Amino acid sequence: MHKRERILGLLPMLVAGLLMCAVPARAQTASIDRVSFDDAVRRAIEKNPTVLGATTAILRAEGLLQQARAATRPTLDAGVTNTTLNRSFGFQGITTQPQNQVTIGANLSFPVLAASRWAASAQARDQIEVANLSVADVRRQIGVATAQAYLAVIFQRRQVEVNERARDAANAHLTYANRRFESGAGSQLNQVRAAQEVSADEARLENARLGLTRAQEALGVLVVAAGPTDATDEPTFEIPTSIDEPAWMAARTDVRLFTAEQHAADRVLRDSSKDIWPTVTASFDPQYVTPAGAFQPSKTWRLTVSLTEAIFDGGVRKAAKTGRQAALDSLAQSLAGVQLQARSDVRLAQESVQSYERALTNARLSAQQANDVLRITTVAFEAGATTNLEVIDAQRSARDADTTAALAEDSVRQARLELLVAMGRFPK
């Protein structure tokens, strides 16, 4: 064999070796935090900034409730006034107005009848419930996003394993092709074909590793970790045997949220009648003056009861009631739409679980058969009964079948998760 031909024959091996060396060493990367599925969801719900930000709505609602209650409670004010004139005034030796006089007064006011204020207090309590349910719905969304990110890590790791097996099988074939070529029994064409397959598998493996890194980073962000986070276990989603619509519909946080908003809007509408009620206020004003004047006693007090009723408001109350009715109708329609979508989600999720489970069974069988074909084809090639084209084709088919099986496994996990979410059973 000529020297030039031997050098050309070694080029595929050199290219494959350089590609393997170029792959970043995983052992040199920083240690990755590893969490279980339940811990990941719990950490995300407890620490994620989105959930913490949503809880501020509860504080705002509680503040509004305190303001509404304050309007129905007594108020007490006190004041001190000092008056200095240029001189005192009087007649016949009697001082009617001292030159310097201090007045100490107070005002105690209490709403005896304030129907609209009392209604506002009850309405504010409804908003606290709405805020709590809103936070619960945000927790659900963060929990679902974390679960999906966790499953993405599992799927991407499975993809890395599939491509590593394909790369190892291609390397084994390349080693055999090199050995045959060096012994003079094989051709350079077979050697280059084998090396090409190794290069392609190395590229797919690198892409799969990058996809795994991205999935780990996404999971780390959701669980508020300092860096990427890896999955330690594969969750098993237990599907209930019976599905009772009233039970699962009442368990969905979005349905509960819209229901609470509708009840709150209905209360506001019903309280519109209290806008026409009069307002009755009692006020007690004690006063102390020193020094007292001739016509001004030192100690006095005054009790006032006032009643206020709006006779004509230009249609403001009617317009407010119309707006409240429109808000209630809009929320009722939104609730009906959410319930309709929820029923569709459950039906579709049920069908998806069954369909993906059947597809998974066939995909696993196909992967097993493809790997059997690869094993038989490799043995036949080494015996001289087939060409390396058939071996490469079998390698690709086995890799594709394993990838399809991994996709089917991920689809089943995702479908089971979606069914539990649709039924309001996740997160618990």
pLDDT band at 30 (very low <50, low <70, confident <90, very high): low
Residue 332 amino acid letter:
A
Burial of 146 (0-12, 13-18, 19+ CB in 10 A): buried
Residue pLDDT, tens place only, 45-82:
999 998 888 889 889 999 989 998 898 999 999 999 99
Cβ atoms of residues 167 and 205 within 8 Å: yes
Residue pLDDT, tens place only, 266-320:
999 999 999 899 999 999 999 999 888 777 788 999 999 999 998 888 899 999 9
pTM (2 d.p.): 0.81
Residue pLDDT, tens place only, 148-167:
999 999 999 999 999 999 99
Is the pLDDT at 24 greater than 60? The verdict is: no
Is the pLDDT at 191 greater than 70? The verdict is: yes
**Rounded-to-integer distance, Cα 146 and Cα 142, Å:** 6
Task: List domains and CATH numbers for the chain.
Answer: 32-83+99-422 (1.20.1600.10)
Phi, psi dihedrals of residue 185, rounded to the nearest 5°? -90, -20
Strands 299-308 and 100-113: unpaired
Q: What SS3 state is found at 286? A: strand
Determine what percent of the chain is predicted with pLDDT higher than 90.
71
Mean pLDDT confidence for 181-205: 91
pLDDT band at 384 (very low <50, low <70, confident <90, very high): confident
Tally of CA atoms within 13 A in the half-sphere of 215 that contains its CB: 22
Residue pLDDT, tens place only, 109-129:
999 999 998 999 999 999 999
Secondary structure E strands in 297-381 = 299-308
Mean confidence (pLDDT) of the chain: 89
pLDDT band at 180 (very low <50, low <70, confident <90, very high): confident
Select from 161, 153, 156 the least CA-distant residue to 216.
153
Give me the residue label for tokens 């004690």. Answer: 286
Cβ atoms of residues 135 and 48 within 8 Å: no
Token pair of 174 as six digits = 């390349």
